[in-house]
Amino acid sequence: MPSTLQSEIKQTRPFKSPYEETLFCVERTAAVLLHRLADTFKPYDITPTQYNVLRILRGAGADGLCRNEIRDRLVTQVPDVTRLLDRLEEAGLVGRERASDDRRIVTTRITKQGLKLLERLDAPVAEAQRRALGHMSATQLRTLIELLALARSPV
């Protein structure tokens, strides 16, 4: 009997190993969930990654963060954080300030406009998360979180 993933992607042959199937299953699940969440952001003209940056900066507060700190906190790694911040700054959602004592350090902070956008997004994002995973019990969600953390842990 083919696995659920095999059926979804119309793969006729079995996976080579449970490792392969698990990795593809995680990748497929992430893609499906992210696509659903991205639909939530479309009317606001931002991407899930831009939302993630704004969320990170809201959490950082008035101190803000430098580019590398933002990069290290992103859920999904991106190749060019500078361009990502450029787009958010052009949209008026973040502001950047170069340190006067060390010109190499540039601190990024969320703007009032960025905070207002996040406030407008809080309820729709919570609802999208509930729609995506609300069919699972709290125990199942906790188990999934623990298993995914175990999969990410160093070997």
Distances (CA, A) of 13 to 7, 9, 20, 144: 10, 11, 13, 27
Count up the domains in the chain and report the number. Answer: 1
Element housing 58 (H / E): helix 48-60
Element housing 66 (H / E): strand 65-66
How far is Cα 99 from Cα 38, in angstroms, rounded to an integer? 34
Domain coverage including residue 23: 4-152
What was the pLDDT predicted at 100? 80
Q: Helix, strand, coil % (nearest 5) of the chain?
A: 65, 10, 25
Element housing 39 (H / E): helix 18-41
Chain segment 98-108, per-residue pLDDT in tens: 878 887 889 99
Chain segment 8-63, per-residue pLDDT in tens: 888 889 899 999 999 999 999 999 999 999 999 999 999 999 999 999 999 999 99
Residue 26 sits in a domain whose CATH number is: 1.10.10.10
Chain segment 101-148, per-residue pLDDT in tens: 887 889 999 999 999 999 999 999 999 999 999 999 999 999 999 999
- Put simply, whether the predicted model's pTM sits higher than 0.85 gets the answer yes
